[in-house]
Amino acid sequence: MKIESQKTYVALAADGLATVLTEGPAFWSLPESDIEAFGKHWLISEFSCDSDWPSWEMHPQADEFVYLLSGLADFLIEIDDAVQHIHMKAGEAVLVPKGRWHTAKIFAPSRMLFMTRGEGTQHRPALKA
């Protein structure tokens, strides 16, 4: 099955089965109960980013793997009351530990591939610097 990665998400269950989520980015606008139905699955998604993320996010149940497909970005991860800046260029990845708030600063239009479990994901606004 061919999948358009920017329009379609894939949820990988612990039993090895995959579910194609044709809603793509609209997945996040579904009722919370629909989103939580896939909370224990590994969600694979791709996003294009032309500007800094407007919020921080945190995944309390699992680490997140982020692969920068193209572009230039800094990943910011809160660790022990400090913010770690990880500079990334195309072809590099970062592993965000579970339970850590993180966001991204974009220096060139970027495409990122994400893999994480969505269960309990939280967001908070990013403060403008």
Tens of pLDDT, residue by residue over 24-75, are 778 877 888 887 888 788 989 999 999 999 999 999 999 999 999 999 999 9
Residue 129 has pLDDT above 60, yes or no: no
Residue 105 has pLDDT above 90, yes or no: yes
- Domains of the chain: which residue ranges? 9-125
Residue 5 has pLDDT above 80, yes or no: no
Q: What is the pLDDT of residue 128?
A: 58
CA R_g for the chain: 14
Identify the three-state secondary structure at position 27.
Answer: helix
* Superfamily for the 9-125 domain: Jelly Rolls (2.60.120.10)
pTM: 0.86
Q: What is the pLDDT of residue 76?
A: 97
Share of the chain above pLDDT 70, in %: 98
Q: What is the pLDDT of residue 6?
A: 76
Q: What is the pLDDT of residue 56?
A: 96
